[in-house]
Amino acid sequence: MPTISVEQNLLRHLLSQHGLTHDVEAMGDQLPLMGTDIDQCDDDTLNIEIFPDRPDLLSGETLAHAIRPFLHGTKATPEMEVSPSGISIEVDATLAEVRPVILGAVVKGVDIHGGEEEMEAFIKSLMDHQEKLHFALGRGRKRASIGVHDLTSLQAPFRVVAVPGTTEFIPLGETSPMSIDSILQHHPKGIDYAHLLTGMNNFPLILDANDAVLSFPPIINGQHTTVNHNTKEFFIDVTGWDERACEAALMLVCLQLQERGGSVFSVEITTCHGQTIQSPVGEGISHHVPEELVANLLGRLFTDEELQHAINRMGGQFNGRRPALSNAPTKAQKMAEASAGTSLLDFTMPRWRFDLLHPVDMVEELAIGHGYEDLGEDNPKAQLTAQPRSDHNMRRRLRESMQGLGFMQIQSLTLSNKKDQFHSMRWEINHQITTITNPITIDHTILRQHLLPGLLRLLSTNRHHDLPQGVYELGSVVRDHQNTDRLAFIMAERSGGFAAVRGRIQALCNDLGVTSWHAEPMEANEGPWLAGRGAKLIINGRWVGCFGEIDPAVASLFELRVPLNGAEIDVAALMNQVTDPV
């Protein structure tokens, strides 16, 4: 899950502007329901984990906007106040095949209280929010990319054109002009995102009235538009291929600046298809939810007062009930009203709530806002007799052995990433990797092939606790797109060494009734093991796993500075060599 660091003074300031107080204890109790959780807290900073389905909480400012009605009961504002700016953007028709969605906004009057240090912290948080939105909503800038500029350095109106690769301008962080081709080949940002423009002969540029380059989306901004300590007026551009993602990203940056005292203004855009639109649109989005769907899923009916209270906590507004119509104008409304029964519940939610896609999502909002402790009760309608797994006895024996050795069982996420699974652990990729098509965070991009990295991450999170710490996991990994079970354990202890982990392997084998086993040495750098302190577990002449001391160089990549030893065993291979006595 993505984590944001929020200054406690910032939350106090943003809440005090509305006559509210900052209560960390109340936040810790309530935030998990909202889609966040306090990971770490000290006198100055809160590290808050944001659940992947809430990209609208990825900055301290947007988080403060959401927690005011949720924690303090203030009236929610699903609309954003937007006034015309008089600024226009004309998009060339050739952009339809290059980067068709172009949106923009102006924010004026942003006032950062304090000196240069506070302004520097704000600029850093603005850029950090931008990059988090690039990943969460923009899918690595493919669907949406954001540019934030100092408006006073620009001359409206603006144009978006397609230009050849020989076109030159001074990119951010450089002092001399570079051609687009050179940026894509040599500039760090160009190297990272050149794949988004592969196969294109023309590239998008945003120009002002003086033909100065604001941005080369989705790669990099121009140097002269950089936000600085004196910036109080901002121009935001968002370009991409997904209009909904672009709109949400634009409004969330505007909301962050609005929370800092800014006023949001729309710009008039002539799209690449010749249409004239205003961006952004401040009105919220209406959601129609079948009342029977709410009753069926949550087990009870709600009064109007309960509906208003619940949805207000989630940042929305309840507009009342209306009869379900059979002649709904759109396909989505027809699908909703087909199962509506007698009435629909009408809600207004912010346009930046990118995660609300279906009436069921609104039912979840009501459940969270109302509180899970006061929902209906129900009993199963059918009784199903479970059948034991073929490996049930082996799994039970493994768990009993691990617990007898003093290990605590844990269950970590099946989602992981290549860095943890392979690069940090020094394991070669020998099996096909199952990747996530649309990952929400950079930490969860593949399905795991090993269990040990998850155990190391757990120990890293708990490194402030006393030693020894011993944990194990009996869980599934995915190799060649097929599930298979593995057992892994790890022990953090001051005096642990190879002899200690070998003794635990011997105890495990004794518990399983294995009498014929031996250890074969591992090659150096073959996995996370310390050279000369890693071994293969061989039973009846067959490999079933590996064990040994963890190399401190590997442990340091997980921020661990204590002696570690552990093992990872293939359960299927073990079952083939061990007789089940039951």
- CATH code of residue 444: 3.30.930.10
Helix axes 304-313, 359-370, angle to 10 degrees: 90
What CATH code is carried by the domain that includes residue 32? 3.30.56.10
On whether both 123 and 267 belong to a single domain, the answer is yes
3-class state of residue 176 by DSSP: coil
Length of the chain: 582
- 145 and 244 housed in the same domain: yes
Q: Is 51 domain-assigned?
A: yes
Burial 280-313 (b: 16+ CB within 10 A, else e): bbbebeebbbbbbbbeeebeeebeeebbbbbbbb
Three-state DSSP state, 379: coil
In angstroms, what CA-CA distances link 505 with 261, 342, 469, 484, 567?
Answer: 62, 64, 17, 21, 8
Q: Which DSSP state fits 419?
A: I
Does one domain contain both 114 and 64? no
Q: What pLDDT was estimated at residue 327?
A: 55
Same domain, yes or no: 300 and 192: no
How far from 16 is each of 9, 21, 22, 68, 574, CA to CA, in Å? Answer: 10, 6, 8, 11, 61
Residue among 205, 140, 131, 135 nearest 170 (CA): 205
Instruction: Select from 279, 303, 331 the last residue of a domain.
Output: 279
Shared-domain flag, residues 222 and 302: no
Q: Is residue 214 part of a domain?
A: yes
Residue 6 to residue 119: CA distance in whole angstroms? 15
Is 386 a domain residue?
A: no
Residue 323, phi-psi category: left (phi > 0), alpha (psi -120 to 50), beta (remainder)? beta
**Torsions phi, psi for 446 (to 5 deg):** -140, 165
Long-range contacts formed by 117-121: CB under 8 A, 24+ apart: 119/229, 120/229, 121/7
- Residues 270, 331, single domain; the answer is no
pLDDT, one tens digit for every residue, the chain (582 residues): 677 888 888 888 888 888 888 888 777 777 777 767 777 787 788 888 887 788 899 999 999 999 999 989 899 999 999 999 999 999 999 999 899 999 999 999 998 877 788 889 899 999 999 999 998 899 889 999 999 999 999 998 999 999 999 999 999 888 899 999 999 999 999 999 999 998 888 999 999 999 999 999 999 999 888 999 889 999 999 999 999 999 999 999 999 999 999 999 999 999 999 999 999 999 999 999 999 899 888 888 899 999 999 999 999 999 999 887 655 555 555 445 445 467 899 999 999 999 999 999 999 999 999 988 878 677 777 777 777 788 888 899 999 999 999 999 999 999 999 999 999 999 999 899 999 887 877 888 999 999 999 999 999 988 888 889 999 999 999 999 999 999 999 999 988 789 999 999 999 999 998 888 999 988 888 889 998 899 999 998 899 999 999 999 999 999 898 999 999 999 999 998 887 766
Residue 511 sits in the same domain as residue 482: yes
| In a domain? residue 93 | yes
Looking at the 3D structure of the chain, how many domains does it have? Answer: 4
160, 205 contact by CB (below 8 A): yes
Residue 329: predicted pLDDT: 55
What is the 3-state composition of the chain as percent helix, strand, coil, each rounded to the nearest 5?
A: 35, 30, 35
- Pick from 238, 262, 279: which residue ends a domain? 279
Ordered DSSP codes for 386-412: ----TTHHHHHHHHHHHHHTTPEE---
pLDDT at 582: 62
Full domain range(s) for residue 269 = 82-279
* 500 in the same domain as 458: yes
Do 425 and 473 lie in one domain? The reply is yes
Q: Quick one: how many helices (H) and strands (E) in the chain? A: 17, 27
- Among residues 72, 101, 122, the one where a domain terminates is 72
500 and 568 assigned to the same domain: yes
- Residue 309: which of 91, 69, 106, 558 has the closest Cα? 69
Residue 168: how many CB atoms within 10 A of its CB?
A: 15
Residue 501 maps to a domain? yes
In a domain, 365, yes or no: yes
Closest CA to 85 of 147, 17, 154: 154
pLDDT for residue 337: 47
Residue 384 lies in a domain: no
Query: Considering the domain boundaries, does residue 562 fall inside one?
Result: yes
Residues 426, 565, single domain; the answer is yes
Which tokens is 555 given? 């442990």
Contact 130, 250 (CB under 8 A): no
Q: Are residues 325 and 435 in the same domain?
A: no
